[in-house]
Chain A
Amino acid sequence: MSRFLSISILLLFVLHVSSESAGEEEFTEELLFRPLPDRKVLSHFHFESRAPPTNSYGHHHRLFPKAIYQLVHKYRIKQMELSFTQGRWNYDSWGGFDPIASSNAKPPGVELWAVFGVPPDQVDASWKNLTHTLSGLFCASINFLESSTAYSAPDWSFRSLSGNLRYGSLPREAVCTENLTPWLKLLPCRDKSGLSSLMNRPSIYSGFYHSQRLHLTSDEFDPVALHGIMLEQTLTIVLQPDSLETHPSFSGSRKLQPSWSMSSLFGKTVDGKCALAKSSNVYVQLEGSLVYNMKNTWNSIDSYEGDSNFGFTVSPDRMMKEINSIDKEGYSILYGFSINNDHSSKPFDLGFWWKLPVTWSCVKAPLRVSRFLMGSGNEKGAIALSLQSTEWSQSLLKADNNGEKCNLRVDVFQLVPWYIKVYYHTTKIYVDGASQSLGDIIEKMSVSPSEDKVSPGVMEMILRLPCDMKSASLTLEFDKGFLHIDEYPPDANQGFDIPSAIISYPDFQTRLQYKLDTTSIKSPMVSKMQERRTILSYTEVLLVPLTTPDFSMPYNVITITCTVFALYFGSLLNALRRRVGEEERLRKSKDKSTGKLRLLLSKLSAKLRGKPWEPPSSTPPSSSSKFISTKVVIKIILIAAIAFGWQYYDG
């Protein structure tokens, strides 16, 4: 099924692309705005560079970034995606079904996957080199994905294209301008002109979600190269437009949505298009449910002016309506604005304002997924994955196949670091609060348990959940492992991350098909939206507190070892040097002879018998111990007196 689908997608894609002229390098820039139901605005930059196949075009490029071209050729990359994300995509209110959400909602931190066109035994080596190259290229610690404990090779659940795929993610990577600058350097106009000049750093990093993505596709290494390398760079930001009233009061739901403009969102305007871009377009997308909710007050949809709920400061050049909408109620509308390059006119500053209040909700993903940790303590715990149906998916499924017992296919891909020792046999599934046997729900499952310090645990699963279920949960128990002291990362007391699980719904294909009128120009972004793609969603990153040693422990260990050594050597030397017979004799003589003379005599006789060559200077130690002790006492008193006096007068 999935293979057929993938083939058909590929076929569609190939047909679609081949219809274009593949002869020249191309660069297009596009920007999409979409008002979100929770008073925020999604802005999605889409830059696309194409390089024709090398065998027909050669090695030299005018527009296409050389770094990427070399990267593709060196590591023979077929497909690659790298994303830097800050914040979380809010699947509930920003939607999880449309193409933009399902391809641009990424887990926090860095995510990288790549498909290589090399023999299977060289894939790991290519991956390692690739991570180092990207790490240098994007000023990020992607090289941590080099270690075999950090990445995995999903078989079938992640993408339908399998084999030479490697996947890894770094949830803790902080994303900032240092990652954006190299990304912008790949654009022919950088951020000097064109749409990318809107990227004012303070405003794009102060949003609620920031995801910078780089997607590479190449068929350079296929026997018949048709369209060369395609580099797709997107930046998805969710911003809150400044509105006058910060506090929504009780009638908040009936309030006007905030109006916005390019200058209010970014603090900048576009002076003109990037001179090297083939086309430069700005779109405003209104979702189907929004259009439906506005219908009451909107007389003629075809012309936005007049009685519509909203207005633009610049009149749109074209309008596209969605056809074959999945959502039966409404269809999405896309307004297009072209930026032309006449410098005489005033800078392009698209504004959007609302005239009437309206509420709507985004199309959610079929299931609401959340993942959390269970249990407490440093010994063990459990990972729970809870899937809740959204009303929308229910209605869809009922409409799709009524009568027969339908089920919903959910693919789960989960990567767990080795120090979280997951016991896969403890998998339990509950549907609507009732425990289910695994065989009823799990259609296919492949697990590769983690190996300590070598590889992470990978779980891939296909679940078949009944359509009418309200909630399902999956739990896996784990034990927490111990790390060697130098394996702890900095700030180990924060805990350890479990990367996001990937949930996909192969039953649902998302696509937004717009009726292209004859006047509309080819837009890569719109054609991307028209591609069929599987809905993906990511779960939360989890933080597992592990036992951490007291990191001053090495110091303690050193001190205690030194003490033990000192004691050992002390007693060893003592035992070696000690002469028990001599000591006994000494004590005896001490007891017996109090007089100095006798002692001296005995000493002398001993000397005469045993060691006549010993000099007489050795006699002082044999002098009576009483004498020494009084001396010692006097010394101690003297020192104490000095110390006391010093303390007293000095302090």
Chain B
Amino acid sequence: MASTPETEGQKPKHRPIVRIGIFIIAHSFIVSVVCCTAGVLALLLLPVLAKKTYVSENALMPGSAIPMITDQDVSGANNFINELTSLNSKSQSLNIEIPRLIALHMANLGGEVSYHMFQNQPNKFHPLHFFTSTDTEANNVNQTCESYATNTVGIIRAPRGDGKESIVLVTPYNPVNLSPNETLSLGIAYSVFSLLTQVSWLAKDIIWLAADSQHGQYNSVAAWLKDYHTPSFGGFGKLHDDECHISNDIIEMEVSDTLRRAGTMAAALVIKVANTGEAGEQDALNIYAEASNGQMPNLDLINVVSYLAVHGQGLRVQVDKLVSLLDSTWLKFIGEVFETVGKIARSVNPQWKFGISVKEYVEGSATLVSSLYNQALGVPTGSHGAFRDYQVDAITMEISPKLFSNSKGRQTELLFRGGRLVEGVIRSVNNLLEKFHQSFFLYLLTSSNKFVSVGVYMIAFLLLVAPLPVLAASLFSDTIKSYVKSEKNQPFKSWRWLYPTKTVFLVHLWGAIISLLPYFIYQIPDSQPTSRLLIWASLSLFILIVLGSFFRARSAEWALLKSVTVSSAFIGLCLMSVINFATAEIGALLLVPMCLMTKPWRVAGKVQSALNLVLVIIGFPGATFFVVKSVLGFENGSSLVEFWYWVESLWAWNSATYIYICMVHLPCWILCIYILLHPC
């Protein structure tokens, strides 16, 4: 009772969790440094933490059956290839003759054949159609028959199946300029198709889509998928189609012009043969899996393919990797460090196996970087990307023979290998009762048989992003404290953050406006990419100035402004991580140091100002593009034009990365510059 008056003077004690919060905010600098370093370190550790892949769905049972492809199938495929090649050298109207020849062979094998005619839909920028399907029915006027491309679709109905599900095989080829590797891929599909018409174990229908890729490989598949899933019944294009039929009165066969369907698609395989042979002892198989906006097919599909390729056909499976990273010394150095750490750990306890060899590490990180980049870009790496838009798991299997020769024996061997591989994959998928759902959808590959799952790679991102709210809170509380000290009588002291928020909001609004600008720039006829880029840049600058002058923002305290900027960057990055993780990860690498470091040059020391300047320069998307290009050593063409095409590809593919750059990255960059130049 005597102690009660003494307690009043003291501050009430907080709960432990609040105390920890206050502690962290008070030491925001150390926390930021530690978290950022840990984040980068965790990212570098990812190849070490990668786990071996395993087939998760038991029903797949890859390789449990003996391949059934016979000499007959392969010799049929050889004949088919010969006919294609002879037709290619002879005939004039190849874009009609080749589909007809393929259709004839499909029909003779016992497939149900139909043609799918489509027109090239030029990629246009539709600013309001980012996450919706584009409705492009209006612009198919004044097209001649020549502009139609013809996909040939052959369907095998499973003898005892109920026809609810199907597996799709895609072979893209260009009828106008048929190359030997495309004929070979058609041959592989032929041999598989020929086998599958006779087998009794099919439970799902098989669709072979010989995709006419004269308007692009992706477009042909996308056009077919669109008509398969959302046909337009009321179009006038149909009438036009009638005049352009491939007449099939000469050869007796039933080819339907209406699109034949075969149930829900379970999986799709795009079969390709690489153009150039690679030096190596084995034939190789390249797997491409990235679809739009960093979506990946189920890991089980990749597992099955790589398992069958390695164990069944003795192919060397490889995933796309950044070749220029393989020789980088700093990566080797990091690899050596990890290797020694791993060795020490193993000497302490032989069961700790987290060290990997330098070569493995370097290869793993080269693959990881390429995987991250491809996902971040949000542009599909092949025609399999079109399937992902309809929730169908699909990958591209590109067989690259060690030496491409036209010799008969070599061709037969390749047909056998490719055919057996595809047969095995189809057999596995055919076993599936449910759709792919057991294994991972969110992962990064570090090699064809190693992956980093979402639970692991999230850590790196979270560590990178964690300092942002801490810094924002600490800046805010500091300002409020100093403010309280200086002028006690101000009534609305806690509303001070509204002014910087207005500025930040205006800059983000600017970001939204400039993201729509390309639509209007495209209305200007006959403009060059460089001039378009310059128009875009100058218009953006103009709008920024106009916005700045109209809403003359009260020059707020830089600390508060930085606090709001940092929190908006945090929100933006977190939102993006849900949409496309890889973009958010790369974005965080660029944005977080810039946001954390930025300070008015008058307040900051010389060293920090210089560092800020460097960070800000690197942080500009264009500059980042050039720096990355020159570091990784791709330099081709005029850089400005190249940049424009890069940006163009982003919106043409409806990539969310474009929105991220315009609405999160650029505004934050502008705000950082604003803070840097702040007159205090």
Interface residues of A (CB under 8 A from B): 38, 86-88, 90, 108-109, 171, 206-208, 210, 246-250, 252-253, 359, 370, 372-377, 384, 386, 388, 428, 430, 433-435, 471, 473, 475, 491-495, 497, 540-545, 548, 584-585, 587-589, 647-648, 651
- CB-contact partner of A208 in B6, B159, B231, B434, under 8 A: B159
**B407 CB-CB contact with A under 8 Å:** no
Nearest chain A CB to B321 CB, angstrom units: 32
Task: Determine chain A's interface SS by DSSP, over half rule.
Answer: mixed
B residues in contact with A588, CB < 8 Å: 3, 6-7
Closest CB in chain B relative to A379 CB, distance in Å: 12
Partner of A248, one of B108, B258, B348, B350: B108
Q: Decide if A375 touches B229 in the complex (CB within 8 Å).
A: yes
CB distance from B84 to the nearest CB of A (A): 14
- Give the secondary structure class of B's interface: loop
| A-B contacts besides A87-B161, A88-B163, A386-B258, 20 pairs, CB < 8 Å | A88-B157, A90-B157, A109-B162, A171-B162, A208-B159, A246-B72, A247-B76, A247-B194, A250-B108, A373-B229, A384-B233, A433-B236, A435-B233, A435-B234, A471-B258, A493-B435, A494-B434, A495-B264, A543-B165, A588-B7
List, in ascending order, chain A residues with CB within 8 A of B161's CB.
87-88
Which residues of chain B come closer than 8 Å to A377, judged between CB atoms?
391
A249 with B435, Cβ < 8 A, contacts A376-B229, A495-B264, A541-B162 known: no
Contacts of B602 in A (CB 8 A): none
Interface residues of B in 331-350 (CB under 8 A from A): 348-350
Cβ–Cβ < 8 Å partners of B435 in chain A: 493-495, 545
Which 4 A-B residue pairs are closest in the complex by CB-CB distance? A493-B434, A543-B164, A430-B233, A108-B162
Check if B350 sits within 8 Å of A651, measured CB to CB: yes
CB-defined contacts of B645 to chain A, threshold 8 Å: none
Q: For B239, what are the chain A residues with a Cβ–Cβ distance below 8 Å?
A: 433
Q: Any chain A CB within 8 A of the CB of B390?
A: yes
Chain B neighbourhood of A492, CB < 8 A: 434
Whether the pair A373, B264 counts as a contact (CB closer than 8 A) is yes
B605 near A: Cβ within 8 Å? no
Residue of B nearest to A86 (CB): B160
Check B348 against A208 for contact (C-beta < 8 Å). no
Q: Which residues of A contact B245 (CB under 8 A)?
A: none
Question: What residues of chain B lie closer than 8 Å to A585, measured between beta carbons?
Answer: 3
Residue in contact with A540 in the complex, picked from B108, B159, B263, B389, CB distance below 8 Å: B263
Interface string of B338-364 (1 = CB under 8 A from A): 000000000011110000000000000
Interface residues of B in 206-252 (CB under 8 A from A): 229-231, 233-236, 238-239, 252
Which residues from 410 to 445 on chain B have a C-beta closer than 8 Å to any C-beta of chain A?
433-435, 437
- Asked whether B200 is an interface residue with its Cβ less than 8 Å from the other chain, the reply is yes
**In the complex, are the beta carbons of A493 and B252 less than 8 A apart?**
no
**Are B264 and A208 neighbours in the complex by a CB distance under 8 Å?**
no
Q: Give A424 Cβ to nearest chain B Cβ, in Å.
A: 18
**Do A210 and B160 have beta carbons less than 8 Å apart?**
yes
Q: 20 A-B contacts, Cβ less than 8 Å apart?
A: A87-B161, A210-B160, A370-B261, A373-B264, A376-B229, A376-B391, A377-B391, A388-B258, A494-B434, A494-B435, A497-B164, A540-B163, A540-B164, A540-B263, A584-B3, A587-B13, A588-B7, A648-B349, A651-B350, A651-B351
**A247 adjacent to B72 (CB under 8 Å):** yes
Cα–Cα, bound, A576→B241 (Å)? 80
Closest to B164 in A: A543
Establish whether residues A648 and B348, one from each chain, have CB atoms under 8 Å apart when the complex forms.
yes
In-complex Cβ contact of A473 among B72, B198, B233, B389 (8 A) = B233
Q: List the B side residues contacting A388 at CB < 8 Å.
A: 258
Q: Which of B72, B76, B159, B434 contacts A87 (CB 8 A)?
A: B159
Interface size, chain B (Cβ < 8 Å): 45
Which partner residue on chain A sits nearest B351 by CB separation?
A: A651
Q: Which residues of chain B are within 8 angstroms of A435 by Cβ–Cβ distance?
A: 233-234
Q: Please indicate the chain A residues that have their CB under 8 angstroms from the CB of B253 in the complex.
A: 253
* Neighbouring A residues of B434 by C-beta, 8 Å: 491-494
A628 to chain B, nearest CB (A): 18
Q: Please, which residues of chain A bring their CB within 8 A of the CB of B162?
A: 87-88, 108-109, 171, 541
Chain B residue with Cβ nearest A497: B164
Q: Are B229 and A647 in contact (CB under 8 A)?
A: no
Among B230, B236, B253: residue with most chain A CB under 10 A: B230
Q: How far is the CA of A483 from the CA of B105 in the complex (A)?
A: 46
Q: How far is the CB of B433 from chain A (nearest CB, A)?
A: 5
Q: Given the interface contacts A374-B229, A545-B264, A588-B7, does A433 sit within 8 Å of B235 by beta carbon?
A: yes
From B3, B231, B235, B252, give the contact of A374 (CB < 8 A). Answer: B231
Closest B residue to A381 using CB positions: B229
State the CA gap A548–B437 with chains docked (Å). 10
Contact of B160 among A87, A247, A651 (CB under 8 A): A87
CB of A200, distance to nearest CB on chain B (Å): 16
Min CB gap A374→B, angstroms = 6
Q: How far is the CB of B205 from chain A (nearest CB, A)?
A: 10
* Residue from the set B162, B391, B433 with the largest chain A CB neighbour count within 10 Å: B162
Q: Which residues of B contact A648 (CB under 8 A)?
A: 348-349
Shortest distance in angstroms between B72's beta carbon and chain A's nearest beta carbon? 6
- Per-residue A-contact encoding for B360-395, CB less than 8 Å = 1, 0 else: 000000000000000000000000000001110000
Instruction: A359 to B110: give the CA distance in the assembly, Å.
Output: 15
Who on chain A is nearest to B237 by CB?
A433
Contacting residues, chain B, for A543 (C-beta < 8 A)? 164-165, 263-264
- How long is the Cα–Cα vector from A494 to B264 in the complex, in angstroms? 10
A-facing mask of B157-198, CB < 8 A → 1, else 0?
Answer: 101111111000000000000000000000000000010001
State in angstroms the CA–CA spacing of A521 and B200 once bound together: 40
Q: How far is the CA of A18 from the CA of B160 in the complex (A)?
A: 41
Evaluate contact between B234 and A433: CB separation under 8 angstroms.
yes
Contacting A at CB under 8 A, from B133-164, are: 157, 159-164
- Min CB distance B1 to A, Å, is 9
CA distance A496 to B194 in the complex (A): 31
* Chain A positions within 8 Å of B230 at CB level: 374-376
Mask: chain B, 1-23; 1 = CB below 8 Å from A; 0 = not: 00100110000010000000000
> In the assembled complex, how far is the CB of residue B282 from the closest CB belonging to chain A, in whole angstroms?
32
A648 to B229 alpha-carbon distance, docked (Å) = 61
In angstroms, Cα B6 to Cα A249, docked, is: 104
Chain B residues near A433 (CB, 8 Å)? Answer: 233-236, 238-239
| Bound Cα distance from A246 to B198, whole angstroms | 8
B231:A253 contact, CB within 8 angstroms: no
Residue in chain B with minimal CB distance to A436: B234
Alpha-carbon distance between A275 and B371 when the two chains are bound, in angstroms: 74
**Which interface residue of A38, A247, A374, A584 has the most chain B CB atoms within 10 A?**
A247
Are the CB atoms of B160 and A430 closer together than 8 Å?
A: no
A248 to B13, CA, bound (A): 90
Which residues on the A side are within 8 Å of B13 (C-beta)? Answer: 587
User: Which chain B positions have C-beta within 8 A of A374?
Assistant: 229-231
For A491, the chain B residues whose CB sits under 8 A away are 433-434
In Å, the complex CA distance between A649 and B82 comes to 69
Q: Nearest-CB distance from B412 to chain A (Å)? A: 17
Q: What B residues does A495 contact at CB under 8 A?
A: 164, 264, 435
Instruction: Specify the chain B residue showing the minimal Cβ separation from A172.
Output: B162
Query: Which residues in A have their C-beta under 8 angstroms from that of B258?
Result: 386, 388, 471
Contact between A545 and B391, CB atoms less than 8 A apart: yes
Given known pairs A247-B76, A473-B233, A475-B233, the reply for A493 and B437 (CB within 8 Å) is yes
Interface residues of B in 252-282 (CB under 8 A from A): 252-253, 258, 261, 263-264
- Chain A residue numbers with a CB within 8 Å of B233 are 384, 428, 430, 433, 435, 473, 475
Q: Which residues of A contact B236 (CB under 8 A)?
A: 433
Which residues of chain A are within 8 angstroms of B6 by Cβ–Cβ distance? Answer: 588
Among the listed A376, A542, A548, which residue makes an inter-chain contact with B390, where contact means beta carbons less than 8 Å apart? A376
Within the complex, the shortest CB–CB distance from A352 to chain B, in Å, comes to: 22
Q: Which residues does chain B contribute within 8 Å of A497, judged by CB atoms?
A: 164
Q: Is A541 touching B164 in the complex (CB atoms < 8 A)? A: yes
How many whole Å from B366's CB to the nearest CB in chain A? 33
Q: Which residues of A contact B72 (CB under 8 A)?
A: 246-247
A359 cross-chain contacts in B, Cβ below 8 A: 252
Please report the C-alpha to C-alpha distance between residue A544 and residue B165 in the assembled complex, in whole angstroms.
Answer: 10
